[in-house]
Structure 1
Amino acid sequence: MMKRRSWMTVGIIMALLATAALAGCGSTEETKSALGDIQSRGKLVVGVKYDTKLFGLKDPASGSVEGFDVDIAKALAKDILGDETKLELKEVTSKTRIPMLNNNDIDMIVATMTITDERKKEVDFSDVYFKAGQSLLVKKGSAIKSIDDIKKGTKVLAVKGSTSVDNIKAKVPDASILEFDNYQDAFSALKAGQGDTLTTDNAILYGMAVQDPGYEVVGEPFTDEPYGIAIKKGETDLLNSVNEGLKKLHDNGEYDKIYEKWIGQSPSGD
């Protein structure tokens, strides 16, 4: 009888130890940070635009994606993993980028994303890495010269999920807004005569004007659009690492080089 009880006791103890071990493993898995995951896999996965000249544009011939945001992503990969090639780029749009981040398809968003209070409810933002402002793109010779020329019935083209739509509705409630899935579709629609003007951040519009010199950016920016790098909420270690990486870029002069390479002037405007 004693022997049977002894074996039962041993069995209970072993079961408890196994349960504790499993619980410990589960706890470790749950508390593992995004930064830890990146370092373990040896690769940073970043969401960037594929249709935005100067910031993130895919070359259909080579398949490579280039732009300001891409170079910032490379610099962060180098800072976090010691090698800028340890980077995987995934295409995002204004509409898909937050869902992709929250579904763990990407580690962060570096995609002309304006920092807003509404978006802060869904993601955490890094320090500002680019200062932009919303403007208007028109065909040269257009009667539209500034936001003051947008009237009732003016057809304004914009991109779904961008702050530009809300901004233009607030500025000109009677304007007719046509929304597209991405910037290239919106620009193609403007060139096809489906709208009178296209609105988004001036930095993006300058890229479109480079693509087709028949179009120009008009008027002064009518909003302040600071871009931030979006991180999944609560990933403090990764957010701190990104901010430290951005600070290093500014301190060592690399940020100025990237800015001048794509924007054509220094960040100070000189």
Structure 2
Amino acid sequence: MRQRNSTSAPVPHAARIRAMARASRLRGWGGVAAMALACALTALFTLLPLHRVSDRPDTGGRGVAHATPAAAPDCKDPEASLKPSGAGGATIEAIKKKGKLVVGIDQNSYRWGYRNPNTGELEGFDIDLAKRIAAAILDDPDPSKVVFRAVPTQERIPAIDSGQVDMVVRTMTINCDRIKQVDFSTAYFETSQQVLVPQGSKIEGFDTLKGHKVCVASGSIAEEALKSQGHPAEDTITVANQLDCLVRLQLDEAEAVVTDGALAAGQAAQDPTVKVLEDTLDPEYYGVAMKKGADDLVRQVNQVLEDYRDDGWQQSYDKWLAADLGKGSPPAPKYKD
């Protein structure tokens, strides 16, 4: 799916940060005091309390093709998952017994998982999917039955391993390294890595990133992609969440952001002074991540996705993503033999 710049109104906190940056146009806001203010604003909007959060503490078109990091030799098809079933099992019963599904999400990704500043509610493509899964597992459409927990990019897998969340629905790419640590559902979205730059930037794509400060989220596929292309570590800025990269770009501390094209489109929708370049890497697929060995839960989620592709996926896509990404459809599921 080729990204297109959106003219949608920016999310208010991004607009406030951008307005202050323009008001004091000196590079980096002209000093430590201004930087402290920017960081405070970022922290404020990143750590806003979530609706229905448990009391446990938070952890914290195609363009030009390029090679992605080599897959492990024993990994042939990481997107293949267990065949769907609604039979249930020990994991499903434990979730039903506690009467709630705890889902790790992002509250900073516009269009995917973010807090609507007008209503205070969490919204987005991933949020819709999480609610659909919770309703199916708990046999109850009441949205209060799903507990959302904001999880930083690098804490997604630890949050699953520790039992802080039952699953993660957070634009999480399925790959060979991650399937060794968690189990995934079938893919529910296709994207690829792309570059976000200010309007007027001379950066044209991945081949022209060297020598420029590039921001990525720690623990992301983008971070791996930069390393695989030999991007100098001293020119790579790593942050906890993607929204922080947009702020770094607005403050002229970064010259480009590398992230999933689907997320980059959301950032361009927040700030019309930036754009998404057409250059892409190989296709990637988002999946719902769950604890290793929770086969009954994986099968149940795959059953939900079977139904969701026919009734729900397109409606959610059209509502949240079509304005920025154009026409779209869900990827076909792949199952293990």
The question of a shared fold, defined as TM-score above 0.5 by the shorter chain, is answered with yes
C-alpha distance in 2 between matches for 1:254 and 1:52: 21
The percentage of counterpart residues that share the same residue type is 36
C-alpha distance in 2 between matches for 1:219 and 1:145: 9
Deviation at 1:268, TM superposition (A): 3.8
Deviation at 1:59, TM superposition (A): 3.4
Q: Report the 3-state secondary structure (helix = DSSP H, G, I; strand = E; otherwise coil) of the residue aligned with 2:153.
A: coil
The answer to whether residue 175 in structure 2 is matched with residue 119 in structure 1 is no
Tell me which amino acid in the other structure corresponds to 2:215.
L
Deviation at 1:52, TM superposition (A): 0.7
Superposition map of 1:102-181 within 5 A: 102-151=161-210, 153-174=211-232, 176-181=235-240
Residue matched to 2:305: 246
| Contact residue 48 and residue 110 of structure 1 kept, 8 A | yes
Which of residues 258, 262, 270 is equivalent to 1:199? Answer: 258
Q: Report the 3-state secondary structure (helix = DSSP H, G, I; strand = E; otherwise coil) of the residue aligned with 2:197.
A: strand
More helix by share: 1
Deviation at 1:58, TM superposition (A): 2.0
Q: What is the aligned length?
A: 236
Deviation at 1:34, TM superposition (A): 2.0
Is there any run of 5+ residues in structure 1 with no aligned partner, and where? 1-31
Residue matched to 1:25: none
Tell me which amino acid in the other structure corresponds to 1:154.
H
Residue matched to 1:27: none
Residue matched to 2:328: 267
C-alpha distance in 2 between matches for 1:36 and 1:82: 12
Residue matched to 2:246: 187
Residue matched to 1:76: 133
Residue matched to 2:292: 233
The Cα RMSD (Å) is: 1.6
More strand by share: 1
Residue matched to 1:214: 273
Deviation at 1:81, TM superposition (A): 1.7
Between 103-112 and 83-92, report the one with greater CA deviation. Answer: 83-92
Deviation at 1:60, TM superposition (A): 5.0
C-alpha distance in 1 between matches for 2:105 and 2:135: 17
| Contact residue 147 and residue 219 of structure 1 kept, 8 A | no
| Contact residue 216 and residue 245 of structure 2 kept, 8 A | yes
Between 108-117 and 57-66, report the one with greater CA deviation. Answer: 57-66
Q: Report the 3-state secondary structure (helix = DSSP H, G, I; strand = E; otherwise coil) of the residue aligned with 1:95.
A: helix
TM-score by length of 1: 0.83
Tell me which amino acid in the other structure corresponds to 1:159.
A
Residue matched to 2:110: 53
